[in-house]
Structure 1
């Protein structure tokens, strides 16, 4: 067993109001530069919908993530090394600027400088940030915001459902899905990078891009099934979510977590067994991937695991932080958080608590008892957000897994309401979800009323340890393509329409 540390995030989708504050603050912090106008390290999507970039979940089109070959071996969907090298100058599996959107700005001076007495009100017209030419805005990163399934007919998750959703006015549903880089345990982008620029940090598992090594081959963009690697068209370099590692090293939460209005994000440290990652990602049945990934995690409250962490050189405050991690509680103890598209086999490390419709009201409206476990379960199967749809997102289509999570959440609500109103203990509900009253109350406190320090348990970095790991990272051998001024150093717009002056960004991002 090789114990490793991984910073991870859990988002409670029941609390997301779709305000996009996380996206705006991330944009202002990380992608407010030339060449990143279309880049959103954090974006909030309305589901059902086709997402950003368009149809990013359609891996038959984009060849992202991993699959098992005929021999049961784990291979990239984008092909082996020779196949990638054969298309290194003309990769057909890249989203175009139309799949993202052409960033625009407006000539605001026309409003200020317009002469008085005009018969018509002056209008500021949009122009392209890429070409400078006038343009019509037809798509954007938040184009589907709160439209409730306006593009649902093209949502790949609905297409895979055995029972089709009937979109009638009274049955229309939507929820918001914030997305960042998953910082996977088995990242496809790292494996696909020809120059070795993509790497996973030894100390905390964050996936980053070495800007000095990056040669702009863009294989990482194709390989990432979540399409969270972007190309800066001013530098020709790949960029992605950094998990705000400078903030984490100072013991602070990511900027998207810090500014989240709904307080739906949780940050914490996990221990995992690095030797078990390949086997977990290689299980034959997609439905087994969730349990396989959970088996990779190590219980941070287990004294044997804590001793193994000490033997591996982990600092004492990191061991304490892992034991107090809200992420571990939601993933490993309460088991109510689920990964986004585990079938991509990247073992993602940003997990979600699926949204629960107002089940207690629905139970009452249907004439059912909201304190009866069976009545609540049957109500969950009839909610406006179909369990099957959530299963396509979070459990590789296994509706029983999502149903079990929603049952826990519904039972928690009913239990806490009964205990608060008349002090009764709904033992039948506890038996139905296999939890004790103390566990349910602790889960309620974490999900509903957790304080800042309970939601974000972030240990500070240790300078000595970081320096040693940095020395190990810089000792890695480069490839034959990473010489100064080598091929791939040029920049271009995302659709390749024009070449820009190269302005390499030094350092890491």
Structure 2
């Protein structure tokens, strides 16, 4: 058993406002500079929709992630021969237009124009070339279902595309996205320069700017398209999980600034020996396989193995208080984004509840049902959610929704002085004590309850950059502190 620690972020999609405060906080800190104008390490998409870059989920187009060929995992886009042939050209990489052409406005015209009968206009100009441009697309171009016939209808997760143009069935929710800091990152495996590595002490995936040569294999290989090319420096860049903040036990900038308090950050322990086997199952089995490699931090054997592998005591204590572990493993609410890409992402999403469609009779609230209604009655189809978060496994999505519905019914009854329905709670796998804990975590949790981030002092770690990049398969490494600390 090879026990390692990973910092994980969980998103509660029921509470996302789509305000983009997280995106602006990230932009102001990390990508407000030349060459990074088009980069949004954190972005919030409207689903269904095209996303950023456009249609990033379509791997027939972008060739990202891994595929299972026989009993071996292979990069979808590359073999040894194709790596050599594509060393100077990436045919499946998104173009700038797929992200968007960054622009500003010629504000000088507003106060430098001579007196005229018409109001002067600040025309859009490119942030890259400085020339006038016609704006055709932006990072939130389809926000709130804007342009549904053009973009939302083309969402590959939809089985029935007309659903987003029919007023009676249209639905939407927000999907915040950062780099997933995967356990089996395709970007790490694809880099011929070994410039991308997964830190052994916290699992964060980083790009060594001194080593990167701008081959851009990582951009193609990442199925989530969260690695970007800086045209000014000629290097690749990506979300760094705000490690200068997390190393000092502070929440990530996107999480700290979140208005809806939808984000949770914590430590999970996992068995690295079982990653490869967990990825060699059918798409529908990937969620449960990923849950199985996440270990119970209260188990003495797990704690002992973690210490032997160099996991510090404060990280083990943080794992005990981790909201991420509770939501992912204990309550099985949070699900990975597109597990069928087989990168084993380490960001998780609690699927959103939704109103029930009024079909033949007036049904407006989920709570009117003893259980989650038939999937055909939910405004957000379970099938859609399963293709987004569960590799097509509708059962694990339904189970998560059942727990959310049972919790909502139970706490509503308690708050209005009615007799709580504990039978529904038990059917959903909860009891009164766990319902209280989950209710607090999802609603009124304090800062320290939402973020259980242990401090990290890299000066105590006996590791070199070359050791960190050892073994480009993407399964990470373990790092032992000096002096057994």
TM-score computed with the length of structure 2 as normaliser: 0.92
Matched-pair contact (CA < 8 Å) for 1:363–1:379: no
Counterpart of 2:337 in structure 1 is 340
Counterpart of 2:53 in structure 1 is 53
Counterpart of 2:480 in structure 1 is none
- Alignment CA distance shift 1:142-1:319 (3 Å): same
- Alignment CA distance shift 1:338-1:142 (3 Å): same
Residues 379-458 of structure 1 correspond to what in structure 2 (within 5 A)?
381-458=376-453
Q: Distance in 1 between matches of 2:224 and 2:164?
A: 27
Q: Distance in 2 between matches of 1:172 and 1:165?
A: 6
Shift of 1:82: 2.2
Counterpart of 2:232 in structure 1 is 234
Deviation string 1:301-340 (CA, Å, 9 cap, x unpaired) is 2222122222223221111001100000000000000000
* Greater CA drift, 431-440 or 353-362: 353-362
- Alignment CA distance shift 1:408-1:363 (3 Å): farther
Counterpart of 2:313 in structure 1 is 316
Deviation string 1:425-478 (CA, Å, 9 cap, x unpaired) is 312212221211111111111011111000001000024433x13466379599
Counterpart of 2:210 in structure 1 is 212
Counterpart of 1:485 in structure 2 is none
Partner SS state of residue 215, structure 1: coil
Residues 138-217 of structure 1 correspond to what in structure 2 (within 5 A)?
138-147=136-145, 149-150=148-149, 151-158=151-158, 161=159, 165=163, 167-217=165-215
Counterpart of 1:101 in structure 2 is 100
Matched-pair contact (CA < 8 Å) for 2:357–2:377: no
Partner SS state of residue 144, structure 2: coil
Deviation string 1:355-385 (CA, Å, 9 cap, x unpaired) is 1114699999439994753xx3226651211
* Greater CA drift, 143-152 or 410-419: 143-152
Q: Distance in 1 between matches of 2:166 and 2:101?
A: 33
Shift of 1:397: 1.4
- Alignment CA distance shift 1:430-1:152 (3 Å): same
Q: Distance in 1 between matches of 2:178 and 2:215?
A: 22
Matched-pair contact (CA < 8 Å) for 1:50–1:156: no
Matched-pair contact (CA < 8 Å) for 1:359–1:380: no
Matched-pair contact (CA < 8 Å) for 2:195–2:469: no
Counterpart of 2:89 in structure 1 is 90
Matched-pair contact (CA < 8 Å) for 2:145–2:152: no
- Alignment CA distance shift 1:127-1:290 (3 Å): same
Matched-pair contact (CA < 8 Å) for 1:360–1:370: no
Matched-pair contact (CA < 8 Å) for 1:287–1:396: yes
Matched-pair contact (CA < 8 Å) for 1:371–1:415: no
Residues 100-139 of structure 1 correspond to what in structure 2 (within 5 A)?
100-116=99-115, 118-139=116-137
Q: Distance in 1 between matches of 2:293 and 2:216?
A: 30
Partner SS state of residue 351, structure 1: strand
Matched-pair contact (CA < 8 Å) for 1:185–1:205: yes
- Alignment CA distance shift 1:475-1:132 (3 Å): closer
Partner SS state of residue 422, structure 1: coil
Q: Distance in 2 between matches of 1:174 and 1:438?
A: 33
Matched-pair contact (CA < 8 Å) for 2:184–2:344: yes
What is the count of residue pairs matched by the alignment?
470
* Greater CA drift, 455-464 or 469-478: 469-478
Q: Distance in 2 between matches of 1:66 and 1:85?
A: 19
Quote the RMSD (CA, aligned, Å): 2.2
Unaligned runs of 5+ in 1: 479-509
Q: Distance in 2 between matches of 1:86 and 1:350?
A: 33
Q: Distance in 1 between matches of 2:471 and 2:179?
A: 26
Deviation string 1:166-211 (CA, Å, 9 cap, x unpaired) is 6311321111100000000000000000000010001011000000
Q: Does 1:288 align with 2:282?
A: no
Unaligned runs of 5+ in 2: 473-485
Q: Distance in 2 between matches of 1:50 and 1:369?
A: 28
Q: 1:469 aligns with which of 449, 463, 466?
A: 463
Q: Distance in 1 between matches of 2:348 and 2:239?
A: 16
Q: Distance in 1 between matches of 2:175 and 2:385?
A: 11
Q: Distance in 1 between matches of 2:297 and 2:25?
A: 32
Q: Distance in 1 between matches of 2:152 and 2:366?
A: 33
- Alignment CA distance shift 1:364-1:272 (3 Å): farther
Q: Distance in 1 between matches of 2:451 and 2:161?
A: 39
Matched-pair contact (CA < 8 Å) for 2:21–2:258: yes
- Alignment CA distance shift 1:367-1:138 (3 Å): closer
Q: Does 1:298 align with 2:292?
A: no
Partner SS state of residue 378, structure 1: coil
